[in-house]
Amino acid sequence: MPDTPRVTIGVPVYNAERYLIGCLDALLAQDYPDFEVVISDNASTDRTWEICQRYAAIDPRIRAYRNPQNLGGHANFARVAELARGELFKWAAYDDVCLPGHLGACVTALDAAGPETVLAYPRTLLIDEEGETIGPYADLMDLRHHRPWRRVAAVASHISLCHAHFGVFRLAALRRTGMIRPYLSSDYTLMAEVAALGEIHEVDQPLFMRRVHGASTRQAKGSNAADASTWFAPQGGRTSGAPRMRMLGETLRVLATAKTPAPTRLANAAAFLGAWSVRRVRVRVGYWRRQLVRHPAPRTAGGSV
């Protein structure tokens, strides 16, 4: 491919044979033509590499690479970004589906918004393992405020299932972040970093279909500790016993040490901590309210009938 494509779609895969063909067919059917697909196979043990080679042989837009050993899911996400040649970049998970207008709508949104916007993503539909629609999901990551700390606070307040990072980034901005890091919920840290760098725009169309199924890593957040350790450190290692506390500490460290003026980075860190703390208090209050409704205090004896 002598010409540099404007967009690179990075597809990190490991033992992805069940859904990979559907993922690649959907990417190749995008109505925005100026893109390449970079696949990095993390030393799969099933037919994944065979599928990658077959698609690379029949479509020149696809470049396929295979790691000599499983580097861990987070490292493979970084690998496809390192191999990207485009000005813009999108991650695609092997088990999700991008509808034909996904890429074009996000690129159009970035072009219309200008360089201060670093990420555009479409609305999300959840689907099951057979592709049946479960329903829409509100990501709430449309962050257009001109003050970075306001955007960072909104990430802490609203992020739950994380889908915005499957939108389209300005690659130069994404490479200023730590991308996916080797700990649970590090996609929260990534989104806080991105919000600190610039605006995030949501495209008002449901063009991303996130598949919910038992074998999904979901960045390993939904798995037990052993599964999470395998996803992040397949050669051995362990994850933190308090994953959300580690995420919080790492996010605050990243925001507070960013290469921005001291008032900006300290405001961003304080905003994330404050919004996250308020959110956790609300969660606990809601929990205890539900407990009281389910198990009301017994009435005392006595009183007139």
- Residue 293: the pLDDT is 74
- The model's confidence at residue 213, banded by pLDDT at 50, 70 and 90, is confident
3-state secondary structure of 166: helix
Amino acid of residue 293: V
- Residue 303: the pLDDT is 44
The residue among 246 and 221 whose pLDDT is bigger is: 246
- The model's confidence at residue 231, banded by pLDDT at 50, 70 and 90, is confident
Secondary structure E strands in 212-252: none
- Alpha-carbon distance values, 250 to 120, 125, 182 (Å): 25, 30, 11
- Residue 219: the pLDDT is 42
Cα separation, 173 vs 165, in Å, equals 13
Tell me the mean pLDDT in the region 193-200: 98
Chain-centre distance for alpha carbon 288 = 31
The 10s digit of each residue's pLDDT in 169-189 is 999 999 999 999 999 999 999
The 10s digit of each residue's pLDDT in 7-62 is 999 999 999 999 999 999 999 999 999 999 999 999 999 999 999 999 999 999 99
DSSP per-residue letters across 86-120: SSEEEE--TT-EE-TTHHHHHHHHHHHH-TTEEEE
- Alpha-carbon distance values, 168 to 58, 119, 121, 192 (Å): 25, 6, 6, 16
Q: What is the mean pLDDT of the chain?
A: 91
Closest to 247 measured CA to CA, from 281, 278, 276: 276
The pLDDT of residue 139 is above 60: yes
* Domains of the chain, each with CATH number or no CATH: 7-211 (3.90.550.10), 240-293 (no CATH)
Tell me the mean pLDDT in the region 90-113: 98
Share of the chain above pLDDT 70, in %: 88
DSSP 3-state percent helix, strand, coil across the chain (nearest 5): 45, 20, 40
What is the value of pTM for the model shown? Answer: 0.89
